[in-house]
Amino acid sequence: MNFPPLSEHDCEKASNSYLMSLMAIVVGLPLPIVNLLATFGFYLGNRKGSHFVRWHCTQALVSQFSLLFMNSAGFWWSVAILLGKKDPDNSYIAYMVTVILFNLADFIATMYSAIHTRKGNHVHWWLYGDITNRICPK
């Protein structure tokens, strides 16, 4: 994807959308909605920015949705176990390990994107980049 020449300001803002996402992952892992709200807030704040900034804010936001569903399911399953309604079996532990792996993958991808967008490089994620192209046309 081609973007018009980028200013230092644009690179910084696009990178910050991923940093916002990173902070939200750290705080929000036990509270899934925090991830989404933080990233959404940053997206709203940059709706009128350049196409490069808007695109990367959107990609950061879209990637949070899949995490929201899997983290929410994990959260409520954990609450059910703490309340004694369910037992912590192999399936539960396997689910939590899987969720942690996916969150870790998202964390690494987000850090990579934050570094590269700060340098002015475009980073197109598998699946989420395609969705962002549909949502955020030129």
Least gap, CB of 101 to another protein (angstroms):
7
- From the list 40, 93, 102, 94, the residue with the least C-alpha distance to 71 is 102
The answer to the question of residue 1 lying near another protein (CB under 8 A) is no
Contact letters (x/-) for another protein, 76-115, by CB under 8 A? ------xxxx-xxxxx-xxx-xx--xx-------------
Region of 91 (left: φ > 0; alpha: ψ -120 to 50; beta: rest) is alpha
The two three-digit tokens of residue 85, written as one number: 């309604």
The two three-digit tokens of residue 86, written as one number: 């369910």
Taking the C-alpha atoms of residue 67 and residue 119, their distance in angstroms, rounded to an integer, is 27
Contact letters (x/-) for another protein, 44-73, by CB under 8 A? ----------------------x---x---
The answer to the question of residue 137 lying near another protein (CB under 8 A) is no
Taking the least distance from each CB to another protein, the nearer of 4 and 30 is 30
Number of residues that bind another protein (CB under 8 A): 23
The two three-digit tokens of residue 138, written as one number: 């030129």
Taking the C-alpha atoms of residue 37 and residue 23, their distance in angstroms, rounded to an integer, is 12
Binding-site ranges for another protein (CB under 8 A) = 66, 70, 82-85, 87-91, 93-95, 97-98, 101-102, 126-127, 130-131, 134
